[in-house]
């Protein structure tokens, strides 16, 4: 099979700076060619035959699952783009400021052609450092976009004080401790640091450790984050937020799991709680299995596969993280621990 084309999904609330970023990606001399699927043609000031307009058509899958949605327009556009493969290095999909990233992400799991030829590389969310706190209060979409992100561009950092910036980062961490945060002004990130990162790719998940604040700010942090809900309280004087609405949950076991217990449990969990679970990721050590099993999920859609052999010097440890709303942490943890072989 030829290598899959990496796809980056670009989200962000209205005015956060997505268009600035897109224009940079399209105009900078980075030597790569990207097909860009935009929702608003007029905003892109560049004439390029690889810029395609999308309609944001969210289609429910006819399988009785309310959160199994796909972007019908994307399936059509990606199908078309794939007919002339070899002409671009990656695909970038812009979503509107109010869009839910789930249908876009699920399209890569639920459509066999799209999933077979392209791979979701990362969900990149652009966040406005100045207005994020207000948006988190009044816009559930803004929170979803952060919950979904693999990479967050904390943009417009020049418009806030260092203290405000730190507070915004803590707010983001309270929702999503796993995304990589880059501080930017006018989205001034090298394109190579955003695209082709493999952040969403099952085959390349190396670590799902929480991403803490920059080192100089958290020397006192406890790196052992197991069992936490993203709201550890530390002694070093750093404030930690607990988001009322959205939480992350990190589970860990150093005893091997029984796949015959774990797989039915996780399938049942996402079938019941899928609407509340935005993302889940896991690296699992099954009993008598020399290979790592990696797992990715969006709402009720799960995708898991053996990745590679455990290395001899690697700790055979299972880790599973969830980001979602109103997660019943105690019940999920209990269920997970019951899967120990």
The residues pairing with 320 across neighbouring beta strands, listed in sequence order, are 251, 282
| Residue given tokens 């052609």 in the structure block | 113
Minimum separation from the CB atom of position 51 to other proteins (A): 10
Q: What's the burial of 321, exposed, middle or buried (CB within 10 Å: 0-12/13-18/19+)? A: buried
Place of tokens 């099952």: 202
Ramachandran sector of residue 187 (left: φ over 0; alpha: ψ -120 to 50; beta: rest): left
DSSP per residue over 156-213, as a string? -GGGS-HHHHHHHHHHHHHH-SSSEEEE-STT---GGGTSS--SS-GGG--------S
Q: Which residues bind other proteins (CB under 8 A)?
A: 49, 52-53, 55, 57, 59-63, 70, 72-73, 75-77, 80-85, 111-113
Are 263 and 279 in contact by the 8 Å Cβ rule? The answer is: no
CB of 35 to other proteins, least distance (A): 10
35: which 2 tokens? 């097909």
88 or 265: whose CB is closer to other proteins? Answer: 88
Q: Rounded to the nearest whole angstrom, what is the least distance from the CB of residue 46 to other proteins in the complex? A: 13
Minimum separation from the CB atom of position 79 to other proteins (A) = 8
Smallest separation, CB 12 to other proteins (Å): 25
Q: Minimal distance in Å, beta carbon 62 to other proteins?
A: 3
> In DSSP terms, which residues pair with 323 in a beta bridge?
248, 279
Measured distance CA(156)–CA(137) in Å, rounded: 19
């Amino acid at each position: 099979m030829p290598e899959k084309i990496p796809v980056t999904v670009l989200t962000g609330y209205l005015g956060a700076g997505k268009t600035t970023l897109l224009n940079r990606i399209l105009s900078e001399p980075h030597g790569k060619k990207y097909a860009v699927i935009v929702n608003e043609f007029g905003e892109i000031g560049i004439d390029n035959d690889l810029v395609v307009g999308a309609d944001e058509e969210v289609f429910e899958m006819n399988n009785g699952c309310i959160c199994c949605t796909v972007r019908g327009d994307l399936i059509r556009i990606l199908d078309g783009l794939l007919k002339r493969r070899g002409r671009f290095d990656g695909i970038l999909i812009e979503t509107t400021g109010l869009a839910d990233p789930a249908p876009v992400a699920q399209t890569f799991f639920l459509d066999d052609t799209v999933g077979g030829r392209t791979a979701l590389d990362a969900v990149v969310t652009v966040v406005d450092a100045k207005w994020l706190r207000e948006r988190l209060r009044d816009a559930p979409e803004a929170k979803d976009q952060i919950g979904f992100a693999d990479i967050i561009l904390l943009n417009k950092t020049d418009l806030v004080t260092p203290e405000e910036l730190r507070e915004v980062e803590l707010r983001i961490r309270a929702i999503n401790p796993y995304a990589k945060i880059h501080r930017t002004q006018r989205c001034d990130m090298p394109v190579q640091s955003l695209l082709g990162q493999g952040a969403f790719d099952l085959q390349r998940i190396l670590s799902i450790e929480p991403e803490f604040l920059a080192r100089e700010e958290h020397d006192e942090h406890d790196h052992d984050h197991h069992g936490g809900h993203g709201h550890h309280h530390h002694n070093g004087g750093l404030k930690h937020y607990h988001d009322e609405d959205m939480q992350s949950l990190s589970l860990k076991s150093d005893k091997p799991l029984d796949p015959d217990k774990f797989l039915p449990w996780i399938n049942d969990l996402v079938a019941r709680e899928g609407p509340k679970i935005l993302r889940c990721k896991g690296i699992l050590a099954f009993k008598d299995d020399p290979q790592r099993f990696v797992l990715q999920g969006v709402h009720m859609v799960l995708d898991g596969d053996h990745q590679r052999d455990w290395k001899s010097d690697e700790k055979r440890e299972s880790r599973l993280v969830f980001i979602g709303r109103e997660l019943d942490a105690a019940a999920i943890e209990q269920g997970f621990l019951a899967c120990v072989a």
